[in-house]
Amino acid sequence: MTEKKKTIPLTEIKAAALSMDCDTGFPFEQALSGDDIGFICECKRASPSKGVIAPEFPYLKIADDYEKAGAVCISVLTEPKWFMGRDEYLREIAAAVSLPCLRKDFTVDEYMIYEAKTLGASAVLLICSLLDCETIEKYIDICDDLGLSVLVEVHGEDEISVALKTGARIIGVNNRDLRDFTVDIHNSERLRKLVPERVLFVAESGIKTPGDIDKLRRADVNGVLIGETLMRAADKKAMLNYLRGVK
């Protein structure tokens, strides 16, 4: 981040982002507001918990496969060290598909929000365990001015309260415990009851079967974010159709 700021200062990236069209319809939120669960499908080459997931990474084909198989959004990692991401992954995917894209990097600086806008993102990720309530509120305000949606990620009941206090319109529950990387999708089922219906609810991590989807559907979850299950599948369209129950 420091090097990026030296190349393109905050004032410059901010001006570039603010000069772009602002879609106040918030397409990421619209995509998750359908009658059935919306699938946010992830393009990532690696992760901190699993290492390299996709040695071969034809990211544009992957995104195209997701769109053709019924995804409502694409999640893209651009962070280079842990996820082996690149900015051009997001820029090129956002230009190639008609779906809204989430930049799923861990946003820890307002610079990253303006940068996400210039790369073509429709949404960014804010993680409650990394940011205080005041900072999340500030970043949501910045995103609103840019026409970006915010996925506010939580892990437990205490963070649900924080997310609701910030005015989050989308709350994502990460079923992976970041302390030991264990996964329990019942975390989403349990926490869904604490979130008002007016707030969109996304379940993240550990979703592997149509049975998992059915459980989350019965819990009135609006969206699921699926990464490793799809990225490890040889035929990603077939896997997504399988998860969606399409024969």
pLDDT digits (tens, 9 = 90+) for 201-216: 999 999 999 999 999 9
Q: Is residue 16 part of a domain?
A: no
Specify the CATH number for the domain of residue 194. Answer: 3.20.20.70
Express each pLDDT in 11-60 by its tens digit: 999 999 999 999 889 999 999 999 999 999 999 999 988 899 999 999 99
DSSP string for residues in the chain: -HHHHHHS-HHHHHHHHHTS---TT-HHHHHT-SSSPEEEEEE-SEETTTEES-SS--HHHHHHHHHHTT-SEEEE---HHHH---HHHHHHHHHH-SS-EEEEEE--SHHHHHHHHHHT-SEEEEETTTS-HHHHHHHHHHHHHHT-EEEEEE-SHHHHHHHHHTT-SEEEEE-B-TTT--B-THHHHHHHTTS-TTSEEEEES---SHHHHHHHHHTT--EEEE-HHHHT-SSHHHHHHHHHT--
Structural domain contains residue 12 = no
The confidence score (pLDDT) of residue 220 equals 97
Q: Give a yes or no: residue 122 inside a domain.
A: yes
**Domain presence at residue 152:** yes
Catalytic residue IDs: 42, 44, 104, 153, 174, 204-205
**Positions of the chain with pLDDT lower than 50, given as ranges:** none
Query: What's the domain count of the chain?
Result: 1
pLDDT of residue 50: 87
